[in-house]
C-alpha cells in the first residue's frame, strides 16, 4: 500500500495545496520521482573575485521537466511535507557526484545538504564517503553546502556533524547568509570554510549604501573567523565590481553563467566571457603594490604523495614553514603547516597512523589564497582578519588560479608599514590624505598610460588576444565655492570640519584603481579609473560619479550650517574687498580631464586652472573635457 494513501498524512484544508499542487498529487509525484530516480543535475560556476577563472561549480538539482515537481522548490517542499527529505537529499547527492565524475572537471564541487538531514536518525552515516569511493572522487574535491537552515536546530549536534565532515577532509559552506536568524545562529555554532551571502543583499548593492555596509560587515566577520566569502546572485558588472571591492573572495550568478547540464560544452565560451569581464573591470595596482611581488618560490607538493615523504622534506628543509599542496594542473588544494604535521607524527602511534596516508587526507583544506595582482592593502586586511595563530601562517599566492608561490605575513606587514610611514611623511596634516608628492607621481603614471585602454576601433578578435585592459583614467580637480567666506563667518574649526567631511565623502567614493590626494586648503585631486567598455559609457559613468560626489558633499555638510542659513540657502559674509554680501551655501566644483595617456603634466595643470572658474559659473558646478595636448 502506498504511503500516499494513508489518510493520517493529509493536512488540514488550508494546506491542501502546496506550491500549486494538491498534497496527494504531490505525494504520488514524489514517490515516482524517487522510485524512478528522476533527478538530474545542472552545474553553475563559482568564479574568483577578479573574474578570471572558475574556482568551483555548484550542483543544483532539477526534477522531471514534464512532472509537477520540476522546480527544486516544489521538489524539496514536497519531500519535507511527506517526510522523505532524507531520501531525496541522498538521491541528489548521489546524482551530483555521479554526473560530476563523468565530466572530468578539476574544480571543486559544492553539493547542497540540508542540516535537517545530517541530524535525522534515518540518515545513513558515511554515505558521502562511500559515494566518493564509488565514483573515484576525494573529500578535498567536495564542499558540503548547508542549505535551508531551520530554526530550532540543535547547535551542539550540528557542530558535531560539521566537525565530523571537516575531519574527513570535506570543506563546509554555509548558504544564504543573512537570510534569517537561523543562518546567523548556525554560523556562530560552526566554523564554515565558506559563507555564501544571500542574493538579496547583492542585488543592486552598487546603488544601496545600507547593503554595502551590511555586506562589508559580513565579509569582515567571515575573514576574521577564517571563512572565505562567496557573493551569490551577481547579475550586473556594477554588482561584481562593488562586492569585489568590499572583499568578497568568490562570485556566483547569471553575470557569469546560468546552471548548465553540460558545463564542459559551455566551458570555452565561459572562459572567453570571463576574460572579457576581467579586462573591463580589473585594474592593475601600481608597481610594487601587488602581493605577487612578495611571492616566495617554494616548490609545492602533489596531493598524492605520502605524509612520510612530506615529513622527510620538512626535516631536510628546515627553513620551510609551510608547503602548498597542488593538483595535476598546479591548482592549490590545501596547505601543510610544518609544526602541525610534525606534531601529528610525534604523537603516540603517530607514524603508524599517519605516515603512509596521502597528504591530502591531513592537509589544511581551505588555506587563504590570493591572486598575485591583488593589492597589498586588500591582502593585509584578509591576513590580519584571521583568528589567533592563523594570522601568522603563510598564505598561497596564485596567478590565474595556479600556484605561484607562498606569502609570509611578516613580509607583508613589513612592507605595509614601510608604505604607511612613507605615506605619512607626505600626507596632509589635517585629512591625512596623500599630499603633493604622491599626487604628482600618480598623475605621471596616468600620463604614461598606466591602465590606459584599447582604442574602440579594435575588433573583438584583437581585443581577445590583447593583454591590455580597457580602462582609462580621468584626472579631477576639486575645490569648494565660497569656502573662505564660510571659514571667516563660522570659524576655522567649522571650516576644518567641512574639509574633513569632504575628505570622508571622497574617500568613501573611491573604487579600486582610484586615487585621492589633498593639495592643501580646499583643493583636492582625484584620479578615477574608468573601466566601461566604450567611450560613451565611460563619459556617462564619469558624469554620474561626479554628480554623486557633489550631492553627497551637500548632504554631509548640511549639519554644519545653522537652520536659518539652510532655510535661506546662504549667509551674509565679507568678500575679499571687505564688502558685506550674500553668499550661497558652499558647493563642490569639479574639473575633469579624461583621455590622459600621452598628455603633458603642465597642460593638465594649466587646463585645471583655466576651467576652474568656468566650473564655478555653471549650474552643474562641473566641467568635463578631453586632455588634448599629446607629447610631441
Q: Is the pLDDT score of 169 beyond 80?
A: yes
Distance CA 513, CA 473 (A): 9
pLDDT interval class at 457 (50, 70, 90): very low
The 3 state secondary structure assigned to 314-326 is HHHCCCCCEEEEE
Mean per-residue pLDDT, 195-211: 89
What is the average per-residue pLDDT within 335-350?
91
The per-residue pLDDT for range 247-272, each reduced to its tens digit, is 898 999 999 999 999 999 999 999 98
Residue 478 — pLDDT band, cuts 50, 70, 90? very high
CA distance 558 to 159: 50
For residue 150, the model assigns a pLDDT of 60
The pLDDT of residue 5: 55
Cβ-contact 362, 14 below 8 angstroms: no
Pick 469 or 79 by higher pLDDT. 79
pLDDT reported for residue 591: 96
pLDDT of residue 179: 56
Residue 335 has pLDDT above 80, yes or no: yes
| 71: β partners | none
The angle subtended at Cα 230 by Cα 267 and Cα 279, nearest 5°, is: 50
> Does the pLDDT at position 15 exceed 70?
no
CA atoms of 537 and 329, how far apart (whole Å): 39
To the nearest whole percent, how much of the chain has pLDDT over 70? 86
Among 530, 551, 552, 550, residue whose Cα is nearest residue 541: 530
Question: Does the CA dihedral 16-19-22-23 come out positive or negative?
Answer: negative
The C-alpha angle with vertex 100 and arms to 94 and 103, in degrees rounded to 5, equals 150
Q: By percentage, how much of the chain surpasses pLDDT 90?
A: 41
Q: Is 455's pLDDT higher than 50?
A: no
Residue 553: partners with Cβ closer than 8 Å, 6 or more residues away? 501, 502, 505, 587, 588
What's the CATH code, domain 40-259? 3.20.20.450
Comparing CA positions, the residue from 73, 94, 87 lying closest to residue 116 is 87
CA dihedral 363, 106, 172, 223 (to 10 degrees): 80
Candidates 188, 187, 155, 153; CA nearest to 173 is 187
Strands (E), 296-409: 301-302, 322-326, 332-337, 369-371, 395-399, 402-407
pLDDT over 50 at 17, yes or no:
no
**Alpha helices in 492-534, H assignment, sequence order:** 492-508
pLDDT level of residue 506 (50, 70, 90 thresholds): very high
Q: Tell me which of 3.90.1300.10, 1.20.1740.10, 3.10.580.10, 3.40.50.620 is the CATH number of domain 291-416.
A: 3.10.580.10
Averaged pLDDT, 369-389: 79
Residue 288 pLDDT exceeds 60 = no
Band the pLDDT of 178: cuts 50, 70, 90. low
Q: Which residue has the higher pLDDT, 491 or 534?
A: 491
Which one is predicted more confidently, 438 or 503?
503
Which pLDDT belongs to residue 111? 94
**What is the bridge-based pairing of β-strands 228-231 and 17-18?**
unpaired
Give Cβ neighbours of residue 533 (< 8 Å, ≥ 6 apart): 280, 470
Q: Looking at the predicted structure, is the pLDDT value of residue 225 above 50?
A: yes
Beta bridge partners of 538: none
Which of 550, 547, 586, 551 has the alpha carbon at shortest distance from 566? 586
Cβ neighbour number for residue 601 with a 10 Å cutoff: 16
Spatial contact of 280 and 237, defined as CB atoms under 8 Å apart? yes
**Are the C-beta atoms of residues 52 and 400 closer than 8 Å to each other?**
yes
Grid cell of 515 as nine digits: 586615487
Nearest to 286 by CA among 434, 151, 148, 87: 434
- CA geometry: angle 419, 420, 422, nearest 5 deg: 65
Residues with Cβ within 8 Å of 154's Cβ and at least 6 positions away in sequence, in order, are 119
Q: So where are the chain's domains?
A: 40-259, 291-416, 429-626
The arithmetic mean of pLDDT across residues 275-293, rounded, is: 69
In sequence order, which residues have a C-beta less than 8 Å from that of residue 569 and are 6 or more positions away? 584, 585
Residue 11 in this model has a pLDDT that exceeds 60: no
Question: Residue 630: its pLDDT value, please?
Answer: 44
Compute the mean pLDDT over every residue in the chain, rounded to the nearest whole number. 83
Same fold across 40-259 and 429-626: no
Per the model's pLDDT, the better-predicted residue between 406 and 378 turns out to be: 406
Q: 282 or 436: whose pLDDT is higher?
A: 436
Q: Could you tell me which residues come within 8 angstroms of residue 63 by beta carbon, excluding any fewer than 6 positions away?
A: 33, 38, 39, 69, 70, 71, 72, 74, 75
CA dist 137 and 236 (Å) reads 34
Tell me the CA distances in angstroms from 274 to 233, 236, 267, one per residue in order: 16, 13, 10
Determine whether 347 is exposed, middle or buried from the number of CB atoms within 10 Å of its CB (0-12, 13-18, 19+): exposed
By C-alpha distance, which of 482, 459, 462 is closest to 587? 482
What is the residue-wise DSSP string for 51-117? SSSEEEEEEEEE--TTSTT-SHHHHHHHHHHTT-HHHHHHHHHHHHHHHHHHH---SEEEEEE-HHH
Is 60 exceeded by the pLDDT of residue 452? no
pLDDT for the residue 30 = 85
Q: How many CB atoms lie within 10 A of CB 104?
A: 7
Least confident of 63-77, 307-321, 328-342, 430-444: 63-77
Taking a C-beta distance cutoff of 8 angstroms, is the pair 483, 538 a contact? no
CATH value of 429-626 in 3.80.30.20, 3.30.70.270, 3.40.50.2300, 1.10.150.130: 3.30.70.270
The pLDDT confidence band at residue 316, using thresholds 50, 70 and 90, is: very high
What pairs with residue 358 in β-bridges? 306
Whether the predicted pLDDT of 357 surpasses 80? yes
Residue 61 has pLDDT above 70, yes or no: yes
**Closest of 107, 108, 116 to residue 88, by C-alpha:** 116
The Cα–Cα gap between 407 and 401 comes to 15
Which of the two residues, 275 and 395, has the higher pLDDT score? 395
pLDDT above 70 (res 461): no
- The pLDDT of residue 510 is 86
DSSP 182-205: HHHHHHHHS--SEEEE-HHHHTTG
3-class state of residue 18 by DSSP: strand
Rounded to whole angstroms, the Cα distance separating 537 from 533 reads 7
Can you give the pLDDT at residue 632?
Answer: 39
149-174 per-residue burial string, b: 16 or more CB within 10 A, e: under 16 = beeebeeeebeebbeebbeebbbbbb
String of DSSP letters for 167-183 = HTT-EEEEEEETSSHHH
Given a cut of 60, is residue 187 above it in pLDDT? yes
Is residue 158's pLDDT more than 70? yes
Confidence band (pLDDT; 50, 70, 90) for 511?
Answer: confident
Cell numbers 558647493: residue: 587
Q: What is the mean pLDDT of residues 134-156?
A: 79
**Stretch 340-358: mean pLDDT:** 91
- Dihedral pair phi/psi, residue 44, rounded to 5°: -110, 130
More confident residue, 96 or 114: 96
Higher pLDDT, 15 or 399: 399
Least confident of 151-165, 219-233, 436-450: 151-165
User: C-alpha cell of 591?
Assistant: 574639473
- Spatial separation of the C-alpha atoms in residues 401 and 103, rounded to whole Å: 20
Q: DSSP strand E in 557-628: where?
A: 570-574, 580-584, 587-594, 622-626
Is the per-residue pLDDT at 78 higher than 90?
no
Res. 534 pLDDT band, cuts 50 70 90: confident
Amino acid at each position: 500500500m502506498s504511503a500516499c494513501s494513508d489518510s493520517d498524512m493529509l493536512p488540514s484544508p488550508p494546506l491542501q495545496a502546496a506550491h500549486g499542487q494538491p498534497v496527494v498529487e504531490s505525494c504520488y509525484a514524489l514517490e515516482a520521482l524517487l522510485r524512478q530516480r528522476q533527478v538530474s543535475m545542472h552545474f553553475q560556476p563559482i568564479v574568483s573575485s577578479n573574474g578570471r577563472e572558475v574556482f568551483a561549480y555548484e550542483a543544483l538539482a532539477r526534477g522531471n521537466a514534464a512532472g509537477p515537481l520540476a522546480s527544486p522548490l516544489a521538489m524539496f517542499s514536497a519531500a519535507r511535507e511527506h517526510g522523505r527529505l532524507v531520501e531525496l537529499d541522498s538521491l541528489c547527492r548521489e546524482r551530483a557526484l555521479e554526473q560530476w565524475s563523468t565530466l572530468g572537471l578539476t574544480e571543486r564541487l559544492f553539493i547542497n545538504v540540508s542540516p535537517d538531514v545530517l541530524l535525522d536518525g534515518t540518515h545513513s552515516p558515511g554515505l558521502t564517503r562511500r559515494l566518493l569511493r564509488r565514483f573515484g572522487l576525494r573529500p578535498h574535491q567536495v564542499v558540503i553546502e548547508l542549505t535551508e537552515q531551520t530554526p530550532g536546530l540543535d547547535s551542539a549536534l550540528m557542530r558535531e556533524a560539521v566537525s565530523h565532515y571537516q575531519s574527513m577532509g570535506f570543506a563546509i559552506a554555509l548558504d544564504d547568509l543573512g537570510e534569517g536568524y537561523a543562518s546567523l545562529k548556525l554560523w556562530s555554532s560552526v566554523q564554515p570554510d565558506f559563507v555564501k551571502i544571500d542574493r538579496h543583499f547583492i542585488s543592486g548593492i552598487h546603488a544601496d549604501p545600507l547593503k554595502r555596509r551590511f555586506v562589508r560587515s559580513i565579509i569582515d566577520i567571515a575573514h576574521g573567523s577564517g571563512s572565505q566569502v562567496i557573493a551569490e546572485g551577481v547579475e550586473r558588472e556594477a554588482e561584481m565590481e562593488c562586492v569585489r571591492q568590499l572583499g568578497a573572495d568568490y562570485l556566483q550568478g547569471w553575470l557569469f553563467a546560468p546552471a548548465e547540464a553540460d558545463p564542459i560544452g559551455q566551458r570555452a565560451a565561459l572562459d572567453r566571457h570571463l576574460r572579457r569581464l576581467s579586462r573591463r573591470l580589473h585594474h592593475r595596482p601600481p608597481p610594487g603594490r601587488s602581493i605577487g611581488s612578495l611571492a616566495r618560490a617554494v616548490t609545492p607538493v602533489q596531493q598524492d604523495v605520502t605524509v612520510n615523504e612530506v615529513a622527510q622534506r620538512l626535516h631536510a628543509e628546515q627553513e620551510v614553514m609551510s608547503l602548498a599542496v597542488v593538483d595535476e594542473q598546479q591548482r592549490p588544494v590545501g596547505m601543510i603547516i610544518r609544526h602541525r604535521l610534525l606534531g601529528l607524527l610525534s604523537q603516540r602511534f603517530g607514524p603508524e597512523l599517519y605516515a603512509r596516508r596521502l597528504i591530502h587526507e591531513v592537509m589544511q583544506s581551505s588555506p587563504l589564497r590570493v591572486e598575485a595582482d591583488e593589492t597589498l592593502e586588500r591582502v593585509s586586511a584578509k591576513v590580519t582578519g584571521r583568528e589567533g595563530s592563523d594570522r601568522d601562517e603563510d598564505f598561497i599566492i596564485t596567478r590565474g588560479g595556479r600556484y605561484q608561490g607562498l606569502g609570509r605575513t611578516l613580509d607583508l606587514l613589513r612592507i605595509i608599514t614601510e608604505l604607511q610611514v612613507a605615506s605619512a611623511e607626505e600626507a596632509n596634516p589635517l585629512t591625512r590624505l596623500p599630499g603633493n608628492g604622491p599626487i604628482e607621481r600618480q598623475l605621471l603614471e596616468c600620463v604614461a598610460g598606466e591602465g590606459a585602454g584599447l582604442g574602440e576601433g579594435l575588433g573583438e578578435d584583437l581585443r581577445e588576444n590583447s593583454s591590455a585592459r580597457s580602462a582609462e583614467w580621468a584626472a579631477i580637480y576639486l575645490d569648494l565655492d565660497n569656502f573662505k567666506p564660510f571659514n571667516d563667518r563660522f570659524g576655522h574649526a567649522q571650516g576644518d570640519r567641512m574639509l574633513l567631511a569632504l575628505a570622508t565623502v571622497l574617500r568613501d567614493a573611491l573604487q579600486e584603481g582610484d586615487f585621492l590626494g589633498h593639495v592643501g586648503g580646499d583643493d583636492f585631486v582625484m584620479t578615477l579609473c574608468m573601466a566601461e567598455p566604450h567611450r560613451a559609457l565611460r563619459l556617462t559613468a564619469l558624469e554620474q560619479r561626479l554628480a554623486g560626489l557633489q550631492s553627497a558633499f551637500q548632504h554631509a555638510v548640511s549639519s554644519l550650517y545653522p537652520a536659518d542659513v539652510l532655510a535661506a540657502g546662504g549667509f551674509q559674509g565679507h568678500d575679499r574687498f571687505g564688502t558685506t554680501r550674500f553668499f550661497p551655501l558652499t558647493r563642490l566644483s569639479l574639473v575633469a580631464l579624461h583621455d590622459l595617456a600621452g598628455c603633458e603634466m603642465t597642460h593638465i595643470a594649466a587646463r585645471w586652472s583655466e576651467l576652474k572658474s568656468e566650473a564655478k559659473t555653471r549650474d552643474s558646478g562641473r566641467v568635463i573635457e578631453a586632455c588634448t595636448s599629446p607629447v610631441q
